Structure 1
Amino acid sequence: MSEQNAPAWAAAPPPPWLAAVNAEGSYFDLPATVPLDEDSLVAAARRSTGLGDFGDDGWREPFRVLLKALEEEAQLTLMGRLMARHDIFLWLRTRLMVTDLLARHPEILDEQISAPMVIVGLPRSGTSILFELLSQDPDVGVPQMWEALQPCPPPEAATYASDPRIPWADRLFTQWSRVAPDFARMHEMRGDIPAECGLLMAGSFVSDHIASLHQTPSYAAWCAGADFARVYAWHKRILQILQWKHPRRRWLLKAPEHQVHLDTLLATYPDARIVQTHRDPIKCMASATSLMGTLYRMRSDQPFNAALFENIIMGEATAARLEHVMAQRDNGIVPAASITDSRYQDLMDAPMDCIENIYRHFGMPLADSTKAAMLAYLAAKPKGKFGQHRYQVDRSRSAERRYFANYQQRYNVPDEA
């Protein structure tokens, strides 16, 4: 779809304090004041940890592509540069600490990641609420935001609930809603809630989490052609570290990006149990547009350009993404026994029936106590807990409905828009 046909969307104005800070920052030489160059970032990470080895060099090219894109495309404000520099510093720091830990304890790589359940689907298709519900199973281990962001030193069972990284991560992630108050109505952020796999992958510097933070089309394009085998290898190493001193019976994972790489996911985790969510793509794209636009507005005042992110918010490319998964399922690349489906409408209307269908498909027992915990979670978290996420479905979207006829018919996905 051409940029001229991209759906229009405008972010809410920033809070007055942020507008004032960024206005004052505009008088500075921002690249000199908050540098985003390789040398200073690498030096800062090494100085912070006292370590020097970042492991294999596969991360360096996407790291450099990202830095170049941040300078040339992202149009970062003062707050945006501060947030970007801190993110990259933490990811570099994690690489150093992971490399050092595995050199001292190579036995960590013998940890078995058995039959992880992985939720995939379009952004805003019900993946988050399904993730939260399934995480109520006591047999499930879910990477939390704090440990996904800072996996080293490895979490320990005895201190897991009181780890000092929890309040630290909570202050950091709730900052998002202080910078963009509308974000709290779209997505809950805390230090102790389930983390998406994009955050686990960030230390590889190839991640949709990174791409979701800035309008950096050259970085997104580089990632689209990247070898994800090494990205999933990094992902597995992080899970092995997280369970080393705090064993998890089985992992529950989630990320929309997995949908694009199911073959690589299964090559890394051959016994993975995949749950694909389904919702009206027109509705998903409209919701994702406002979510992503709000994310970018945290760090830049440039207008949101939906055409740069066509694979999740533009009709033809989104349909191609869905058709690709259908073809993989038809061709047996994703075996029928390895994947099942969760319709958004079913999850909203009869959530426990939906959960029971998932467990039944994979031959997993579902205890009454687990069902009770899931129902209690639902009762304690009514829709709109943090305010209603309101967004409009642009009328131009109606012409895109034709792209999804095959997908909606196959999975009986009703129109919502």
Structure 2
Amino acid sequence: MGSVVPDIADIDFDDLTSPQLTDIQRQVLEFTEAKRVEFDIDQMFGEAVEQAGVGDDVDDSDGFADRLAAHLAAIEADEGLRELTRSTLRQRVVRLLRNRLSLTELLKRYPEIESIPIEKPFIVVGMPRSGTTHLVNLIAADPRRRALPYWESQDPIPARGQGPGIVGVDPRYARARAEHDALMASAPVVAAMHDRFPEAIEEEVELLDLDLASYVLEWHARAPDWRDYYLALDQTRHYAYMRKVLQALTFLRGPRTWILKSPQHCEQLGPLMATFPDATVAFTHRDPVAVVQSAITMMAYSDRLRRTSIDPAWLLDYWSDRVHRLLSACVRDRDIVPAERSIDVSFHHLNGNEMPVLEEFYRRGGIELTPQVRARFQRYLDGNPRGKHGRIRYDLQRHFGVSADELRARFDFYFDRFDVRPE
């Protein structure tokens, strides 16, 4: 169950762009800013090898070392990051390297993993705040579906000798729980925006990043160089790598039918369908104003701890452009996915209308929607009403100097293509 933030019926950020830090936040920064964090590739790789408990065998035939160098260069180029964020990103890279090493070792021991079929996955494609998280968590209530909880997305492959302890708790889950508790103490409003509690279903793009080939870094740092580098990659081979990680996760705790989702798929529909040709895809659609204002408000709030200053104009320009790129690619490539195995779901039709949407989605996927699964869906809906963790009061004009209508006008092409209602 996710953490509940008390007394948050309505959340209004009076200090979004000029933050007033709490005592806890000031103490955290005072402690973390005292020492410069260094990104030494050899040292980081050595730490990953030690954590994995395996040899240092890394296959660089696909240019992984070049992607790692570009990834780190993009972090170093962001001069506004606090040491707290640099430390978090350094730990993240070491963790990705460790998981990559562990996967390589697991595949050597069990080569049959790469023969495991990923059968008829359901995939949700859409922008943040368009209903993707709601829909994927709902479908994950079907016990026949394999989903990716947040704790597993962060540490997908257990290191050798690091299985559950005497009380049966996986140490990967315990780490995710401790990190979430620390976040709730330092930035509790995060739950109202996007509560990534350990059990919450997460995006498989985190698995893609084991190959250092996703857009994830853009959410952690101001990294336009990485965006351009990522967009130039041939994602077909990297999506194939992600599929290999899904095969390993299936091997570790099954089953073989997955529910997946990520906004990144909007601009990678070709590689997505080449990798999962029998997938059934649900496209979620919502007024891009809701998407952009949510993203930049969340980023600005997070930046009070992540960065030395907040630049609302930069956030507006970058993320309105980024969402524009994602949606442009979705409009361009939507027909790559066969109509008989896909649906388009408008946000204004989703809330309270989930069961008919699911019935049609399952029908197009050729999967029976049993009474037992229907009952599970209804229990999830009853227990997770919209706004469960409070609602954010957005104010684009006050915080970012743009009106909703001005921002919306940039996305006429999207309204022309899909059934999207201005909010």
For Structure 1 versus Structure 2, the TM-score category normalised by the shorter chain is 0.7 to 0.9
Are the structure 2 counterparts of residues 14 and 205 from structure 1 closer, same or farther at C-alpha, using a change threshold of 3 Å? farther
Partner of 2:388: 385
Identity of aligned residues (%): 30
Partner of 1:45: 48
2:94 equivalent to 1:98: no
Distance 1:40 1:11 in 2: 37
Q: CA deviation at 1:387?
A: 2.5
Distance 1:309 1:237 in 2: 36
Contact kept? 2:266, 2:329, Cα under 8 Å: no
Q: CA deviation at 1:310?
A: 5.4
**1:55-204 matches, cutoff 5 A:** 55-57=59-61, 58-153=63-158, 162-204=169-211
Contact kept? 1:80, 1:299, Cα under 8 Å: yes
Contact kept? 2:120, 2:365, Cα under 8 Å: no
2:299 equivalent to 1:292: yes
**Most deviating of 361-370 and 40-49:** 361-370
Are the structure 2 counterparts of residues 309 and 207 from structure 1 closer, same or farther at C-alpha, using a change threshold of 3 Å? farther
SS in 2 for 1:289: helix
Contact kept? 1:202, 1:210, Cα under 8 Å: no
1:75-127 CA distance string (max 9 Å, x none): 32232222122111111111111111112221111111111111111121111
Distance 1:233 1:365 in 2: 28
Partner of 2:217: 210
Q: CA deviation at 1:174?
A: 4.0
Match of 1:314 among 301, 320, 326: 320
Distance 1:349 1:187 in 2: 20
1:369-408 CA distance string (max 9 Å, x none): 2122111112112233222233223343412433433432
**Most deviating of 263-272 and 292-301:** 292-301
Residue type of the alignment partner of 2:71: L
1:189-244 CA distance string (max 9 Å, x none): 22222121121122111222232112222222211222212321221111011111
Q: CA deviation at 1:293?
A: 2.9
Distance 2:232 2:119 in 1: 29
Match of 2:368 among 365, 370, 377: 365
Are the structure 2 counterparts of residues 397 and 93 from structure 1 closer, same or farther at C-alpha, using a change threshold of 3 Å? same
Q: CA deviation at 1:259?
A: 0.8
SS in 2 for 1:265: helix
SS in 1 for 2:345: strand
1:295-352 CA distance string (max 9 Å, x none): 44442223245646857x316x64453343233234xx32222321111111113221
Contact kept? 1:14, 1:180, Cα under 8 Å: no
TM-score (norm 2): 0.86
**Most deviating of 232-241 and 283-292:** 283-292
Are the structure 2 counterparts of residues 137 and 63 from structure 1 closer, same or farther at C-alpha, using a change threshold of 3 Å? same
Provide the aligned C-alpha RMSD in A. 2.8
**Most deviating of 348-357 and 101-110:** 348-357
TM-score (norm 1): 0.87
Are the structure 2 counterparts of residues 199 and 309 from structure 1 closer, same or farther at C-alpha, using a change threshold of 3 Å? farther
Are the structure 2 counterparts of residues 53 and 334 from structure 1 closer, same or farther at C-alpha, using a change threshold of 3 Å? same
Match of 1:255 among 262, 273, 284: 262
Contact kept? 1:356, 1:366, Cα under 8 Å: yes
Q: Could you list the runs of 5+ residues in structure 1 that have no partner in the other structure? A: 1-8
Q: CA deviation at 1:41?
A: 0.7
Residue type of the alignment partner of 2:353: A
Match of 1:241 among 233, 243, 248: 248
Contact kept? 2:280, 2:364, Cα under 8 Å: no
Residue type of the alignment partner of 2:419: N
**Most deviating of 52-61 and 298-307:** 298-307
Are the structure 2 counterparts of residues 11 and 136 from structure 1 closer, same or farther at C-alpha, using a change threshold of 3 Å? farther
Distance 1:307 1:101 in 2: 43
Q: CA deviation at 1:142?
A: 0.1
Distance 1:61 1:353 in 2: 47
Residue type of the alignment partner of 1:235: M
Distance 1:246 1:156 in 2: 13
SS in 2 for 1:341: strand
Contact kept? 2:29, 2:305, Cα under 8 Å: no
SS in 1 for 2:189: helix
**Most deviating of 221-230 and 264-273:** 221-230
Are the structure 2 counterparts of residues 13 and 85 from structure 1 closer, same or farther at C-alpha, using a change threshold of 3 Å? farther
Distance 2:201 2:381 in 1: 16
Match of 2:239 among 210, 225, 232: 232
2:18 equivalent to 1:15: no
- Give the total of aligned pairs: 400
Partner of 1:3: none
SS in 1 for 2:120: coil
Distance 2:245 2:75 in 1: 26
Contact kept? 1:198, 1:255, Cα under 8 Å: yes
Residue type of the alignment partner of 2:366: G
